[in-house]
């Protein structure tokens, strides 16, 4: 019996270092991050009919997760010359969700992020077709669609990476994989472009954001 | 993550985005037409017409079908600038003047193909002769390949 106790105690003593190792804590700061997208403004230099301003605020809720609130405004103009029409869309969007940092806390240190985000998005926008035309048996026909407001809903998966460049200053990018839930426009007047989502004639719309972030630690 | 890996990821992401932005050609039908099928009076059997001629009234120099053979369905365009369109129709040796009454509304075909008009037939098809007879099956006239009207002769 004594031997059994001795073995048991020895085994426990062997396991203690393992527990102690598990309880080692590296101080990882919890941050509030404020970010602005620069991809949209830079893209508008190339295509001045597509102007976007957007950014986000994230708050770390633990060492691996952050709650995120994004918002933005987009103005979009499109002209199709082969099957002639003009199209205008503008509006605001918000997205709420969570970022999951796949790096271990000891690697991330509150400065590095390589993970995946999940978002729900809401877009309130106005679209208009100032003019369109086509040709059929009776000749050329023309038309227009007056300005009208809609509300669209979408879901988003956004893998990405971010890294600290200087103290409290980060850069990073994320790919946006968006899935339209409801465009609000009906089948006949599908939105060509929904702010925050993209091409809403299709269910799936990809995109990219490149962020500059300011990181404000609020807890260690 | 190394700098080289970041650049690789950025390059792949750019390809995805650029691919999605490249303008695509239009492969879809852009004009809505009345799809009218031929049937035999009495038996209701589907028929293939030996000869079909169709053109808009006052547009006989621009024929939609001119003694076309082997048809069991014809596509009849409607004028978006009006709320009715009239046609001269000749099936084999039977001639008729037929008028469609409708309202129209705008429809987006696709980003590549732009906008067109869809129609809703608002009244029964008007025709001068007892035969052919016309039966509206689906009053929504679209670019979708769906039967709209049955022509019995």
A136-186: per-residue pLDDT in tens? 999 999 999 999 999 999 999 999 999 999 999 999 999 999 999 999 998
- What sign results for the dihedral spanned by CA atoms B21, B24, B28, B32? positive
pLDDT over threshold 50, residue A22: no
CA distance A76 to chain B (A): 14
Which tokens sit at B134? Answer: 């016309």
Which helix (H) or strand (E) element contains residue B87? strand B84-91
pLDDT score, position A139:
94
How many folded domains does chain B comprise?
A: 1
CA distance A15 to chain B (A): 34
Phi, psi of A39 (to 5 degrees): -65, -45
Segments in chain B below pLDDT 50: 3, 7
Q: How far apart are CA B34 and CA B139, in angstroms?
A: 9
pLDDT digits (tens, 9 = 90+) for A116-132: 999 999 999 999 999 99
- E strand spans, chain A: 30-37, 50-60, 65-80, 85-101, 113-136, 139-166, 169-182, 204-219
Is B6 domain-assigned? no
pLDDT digits (tens, 9 = 90+) for A31-51: 999 999 999 999 999 988 899
Question: Could you give the 3-state DSSP secondary structure of residue A184?
Answer: coil
Q: How far apart are CA A160 and CA B117, in angstroms?
A: 43
Is A11 domain-assigned? no
Instruction: Supply the range of the domain harboring residue A151.
Output: 25-219
Is B74 domain-assigned? yes
Q: How many beta-carbon contacts under 8 Å exist across A and B?
A: 84
Omega before residue B82 within 30° of 0, cis: no
How many folded domains does chain A comprise?
A: 1
In CATH, what number is assigned to the domain containing residue B135?
2.60.40
CA distance A44 to chain B (A): 14
Is B19 domain-assigned? no
Which tokens sit at A112? Answer: 């590095």
Q: In this prediction, what percent of chain A has a pLDDT beyond 70?
A: 88
CA distance B28 to chain A (A): 12
pLDDT score, position A83:
78
Chain Cα centroid distance, residue B79: 12
pLDDT digits (tens, 9 = 90+) for A72-98: 999 999 998 877 999 999 999 999 999
pLDDT score, position A182:
95
Which residues, at least 6 apart from A188, have a Cβ–Cβ distance to it below 8 Å? B105, B106, B107, B108, B118
Contact check, Cβ <8 Å, B105/A85: no
Is A8 domain-assigned? no
Report whether B67 contacts B54 (CB < 8 A).
Answer: no
Report whether A201 contacts B107 (CB < 8 A).
Answer: no
| B16 interaction partners in chain A (CB closer than 8 Å) | 175, 206, 208
Is B1 domain-assigned? no
Which helix (H) or strand (E) element contains residue A112? none
Confidence of residue A11 (pLDDT cuts 50, 70, 90): very low
Is A202 domain-assigned? yes
Chain B contact present for A199, CB below 8 A: yes
pLDDT score, position A10:
42
- Computed over every residue of chain A, the mean pLDDT equals 88
The tokens 């407001």 sit on which residue? A149
Report whether B30 contacts B117 (CB < 8 A).
Answer: no
Quickly list DSSP for A48-101.
Answer: TTEEEEEEEEEEESSSSEEEEEEEEEEEEEEEETTTTEEEEEEEEEEEEEEEEE
Is A119 domain-assigned? yes
Contact check, Cβ <8 Å, B14/A82: no
Report whether B105 contacts A188 (CB < 8 A).
Answer: yes
Instruction: Supply the range of the domain harboring residue B118.
Output: 24-152
Report whether B71 contacts B65 (CB < 8 A).
Answer: yes
Contact check, Cβ <8 Å, B13/A188: no
Q: List B residues 43-102 in contact with A (Cβ-Cβ < 8 A).
A: 56, 59, 62, 64, 77, 79-81, 85
Question: Could you give the 3-state DSSP secondary structure of residue B29?
Answer: coil
Is A123 domain-assigned? yes
């Amino acid at each position: 019996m004594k031997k059994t106790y001795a073995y048991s105690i020895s085994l426990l003593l062997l396991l203690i270092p393992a527990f102690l190792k598990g309880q080692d804590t590296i101080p990882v700061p919890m941050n509030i991050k404020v970010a602005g997208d620069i991809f949209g403004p830079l893209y508008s230099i190339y295509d001045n009919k597509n102007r976007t301003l957007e950014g986000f605020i994230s708050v770390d809720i633990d060492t691996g997760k952050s709650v995120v609130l994004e918002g933005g405004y987009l103005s979009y103009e499109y002209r199709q010359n082969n099957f002639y029409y003009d199209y205008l869309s503008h509006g605001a969007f918000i997205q709420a969700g969570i970022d999951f940092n796949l790096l271990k806390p000891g690697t991330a240190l509150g400065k590095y992020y390589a993970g995946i985000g999940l978002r729900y998005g809401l877009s309130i926008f106005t679209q208009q077709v100032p003019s369109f035309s086509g040709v059929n048996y009776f000749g050329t026909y023309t038309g227009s669609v007056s300005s009208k407001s809609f509300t669209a809903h979408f879901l988003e998966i956004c893998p990405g990476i971010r890294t600290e460049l200087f103290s409290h200053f980060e850069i990073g990018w994320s790919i946006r994989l968006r899935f339209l839930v409801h465009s609000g426009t009906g089948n006949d007047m599908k939105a060509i472009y929904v702010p925050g989502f993209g091409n809403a004639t299709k269910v799936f719309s990809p995109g990219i954001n490149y962020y500059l972030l300011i990181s404000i630690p609020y807890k260690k | 993550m190394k700098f080289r890996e970041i650049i690789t990821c950025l390059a792949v992401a750019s390809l995805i985005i650029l691919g999605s932005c490249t303008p695509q050609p239009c492969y879809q039908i852009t004009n809505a037409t009345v799809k009218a099928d031929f049937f035999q009076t009495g038996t209701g059997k589907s028929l293939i017409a030996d000869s079909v001629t169709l053109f808009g009234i006052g547009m006989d120099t621009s024929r939609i079908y001119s003694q076309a053979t082997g048809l069991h369905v014809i596509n009849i365009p409607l004028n978006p600038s009006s709320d009715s369109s009239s046609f001269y129709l000749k099936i084999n040796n039977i001639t008729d003047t037929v008028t469609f009454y409708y309202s129209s509304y705008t429809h987006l075909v696709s980003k590549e193909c732009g906008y067109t008009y869809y129609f809703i037939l608002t009244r029964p098809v008007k025709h001068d002769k007892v035969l052919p007879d016309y039966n509206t099956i689906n009053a929504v006239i679209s670019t979708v390949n769906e039967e709209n009207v049955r022509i019995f002769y």
